């Protein structure tokens, strides 16, 4: 499905619904280089197990969201951090069946989820963060400058694939991921989208990551952090720093570490992720270490 922003931009999104009526809305936010298909193994089950409307989108420049060669100044603003927040809230208000939301974000999507909480804390009851990129999230200035060069970012886009390119390091064992044919096919299809390289140029040019470490005392909702013990992109040590800082002002923070798992637990170990989320959202199992910790 597509959600129309204006004449120049349409956002691709997926929705999973339970067989019964919905009681909550869960938004799934993918990471850098990824897309809504990253949640294909947990989206449908989250909908059934939690009577939830589950929505996943492809943020501008990623996935199947439509791109074009050039944009007006108004549309280009949606590639900035401020514009992305406006776009997210507009999309969520336009698609959600409920006024209170649970946000689930992986990597860069975790950063987006936390940024959205600061924009609308009254709407967000829980954050489910899978290997969130928060601690030391901004690259050195010269790296961002090089990546933002049109030729460099275009070549990066063309070589990028979580399955076979340099981002295969996102997995603990990417050979097992290759056995998940539906996921492999989805990732192979994304770089074939029209103006995919041009979209990456715009992302690297306009994107700026907020320093959320300076705002952690503002997070008062329930927060679950799931991370892979073998995560090479956001190492466990960085997640522990985030955990420690959050717990200084929030006693509703839980962390679960999955062994033999890399940066995208929802793809490598979807059943474990679902089990952990189930326990987290179930008050009777809130402090059960056998379920929450691997």
pLDDT in tens, 109-163: 999 999 999 999 999 999 999 999 999 876 544 344 444 555 555 555 555 555 5
Residues 73-105 pLDDT 10s: 999 999 999 999 999 999 999 999 999 999 999
Closest CA relative to residue 293, chosen from 256, 242, 243: 256
> What residues contact 164, with CB distance under 8 A and at least 6 apart?
none
- Tell me, yes or no, if the pTM score tops 0.95: no
Judging by DSSP bridges, how do beta strands 2-6 and 24-29 pair with one another? unpaired
For 98, counting Cβ atoms within 10 Å of its Cβ (0-12 exposed, 13-18 middle, 19+ buried), the class is middle
What is each CA distance from 204 to 37, 123, 142, 153, 200, in whole angstroms?
22, 30, 13, 7, 6
**What distance in Å separates the CA atoms of residue 203 and residue 65, rounded to the nearest whole number?**
13
pLDDT at residue 220 is higher than 60: yes
Mean pLDDT in the chain? 89
């Amino acid at each position: 499905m597509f959600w129309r922003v204006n004449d120049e931009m349409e956002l691709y999104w997926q929705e999973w619904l339970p067989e019964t009526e919905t009681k909550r809305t869960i938004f799934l936010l993918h990471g850098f280089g990824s897309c809504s298909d990253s949640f294909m193994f947990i989206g449908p089950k989250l909908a059934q197990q939690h009577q939830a409307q589950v929505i996943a989108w492809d943020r501008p420049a990623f996935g199947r969201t439509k791109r074009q060669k050039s944009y007006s100044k108004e549309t280009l603003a949606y590639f900035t951090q401020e514009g992305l927040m406006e776009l997210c809230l507009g999309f969520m208000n336009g698609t959600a069946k409920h006024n209170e939301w649970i946000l689930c974000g992986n990597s860069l999507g975790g950063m987006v989820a936390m940024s959205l909480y600061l924009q609308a804390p009254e709407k967000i009851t829980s954050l489910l963060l899978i290997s969130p990129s928060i601690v030391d999230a901004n690259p050195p200035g010269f790296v961002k400058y090089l990546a933002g060069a049109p030729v460099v970012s275009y070549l990066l886009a063309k070589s990028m694939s979580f399955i076979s390119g340099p981002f295969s390091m996102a997995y603990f064992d990417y050979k097992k991921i290759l056995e998940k044919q539906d996921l492999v096919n989805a990732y192979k299809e994304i770089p074939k989208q029209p103006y995919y390289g041009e979209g990456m140029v715009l992302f690297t040019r306009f994107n700026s990551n907020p320093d959320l470490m300076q705002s952690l005392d503002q997070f008062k909702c329930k927060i679950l952090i799931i991370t892979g013990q073998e995560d090479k992109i956001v190492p466990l040590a960085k997640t522990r720093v985030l955990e420690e800082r959050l717990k200084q002002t929030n006693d509703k923070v839980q962390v679960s570490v999955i062994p033999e798992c890399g940066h995208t637990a929802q793809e490598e170990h979807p059943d474990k992720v679902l089990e952990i989320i189930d326990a987290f959202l179930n008050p009777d199992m809130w402090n059960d270490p056998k379920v929450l910790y691997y």
